[in-house]
Amino acid sequence: MARRWLLIPILLMGTGTTMTPEARSDAIERLPAPRQEGALSVEAALARRRSLREFAPRPLSAAELGQLAWAAQGVTHGEGLRTAPSAGALYPLELYVATASGLYRYEPRRHALRRLAANDPRPALRRAALGQDCVGEAPAVFAITAVPARAARRYGAARAPRYAHLEAGHAAQNLLLQAVALGLGAVPVGAFDDAALAQALSLPESEQPLYLIPVGVPR
């Protein structure tokens, strides 16, 4: 019975139906298994990738959300190695996704979303992003953050932020190319108020926001 209940929010996200504010937070929502083959080659995706800021209102399905999250930070090896390279395989990044249904954190090993809040966080993200319409209007906004201390244990406090920034670029490009392969549009956003964005995502002091990536069907 519990397994069936966990699938319900995924169906709601796929149809665009939002959950009520009373919906349980901190619940694990399983995602469909990611595909590892597609109709578009890497070369074609590279050629077609453009930053798009206007999106149709259609919500993304659970399969689309899962494929995008997997492209950015998915596990591809039995030892936990991921799609994006990471210095020392320490993985300082965290990946969040904001939709009309709430705020979620991606859990790579489970290929699942953990619900953090049931309210729509996109208006707060838009304000943090200096009022950029694409952040408020995209059906899904991915946020990449970093916990530099994970890398500092091996590489030191001075070097760790650089490795986290490099890794964020790898993960973001993976996500952007996956969006193209799915017929979606996306845009990387780096203009935001760090403190406001950290508050909108309810980040601890040890975690820093690095990137916003609105994604949706091109208008």
Q: Please provide the DSSP assignment of 54-97 as one string.
A: -B-SPPPPHHHHHHHHHHHH-B-STT--BSS--GGG---EEEEE
The two tokens of residue 125 are 């993200």
pLDDT band at 13 (very low <50, low <70, confident <90, very high): very low
pLDDT, tens digit (0-9, with 9 covering 90-100), for 160-211: 999 999 999 999 999 999 999 999 999 999 999 999 999 999 999 999 999 9
More confident residue, 19 or 171: 171
pLDDT value at 5 more than 70: no
pLDDT band at 24 (very low <50, low <70, confident <90, very high): low
pLDDT band at 26 (very low <50, low <70, confident <90, very high): confident
Task: Give the separation between CA 101 and CA 193, rounded to whole angstroms.
Answer: 24
**Mean pLDDT in the chain?**
90
Task: Give the separation between CA 110 and CA 112, rounded to whole angstroms.
Answer: 5
pLDDT, tens digit (0-9, with 9 covering 90-100), for 105-138: 999 999 999 999 999 999 999 999 999 999 999 9
Q: DSSP labels for 132-201? A: -HHHHHSSEEEEEEE-THHHHHHH-TTTHHHHHHHHHHHHHHHHHHHHHHTT-EE--B--S-HHHHHHHT
Q: Which fold has domain 2-216?
A: NADH Oxidase (3.40.109)
Location of structure tokens 């650089």: 162
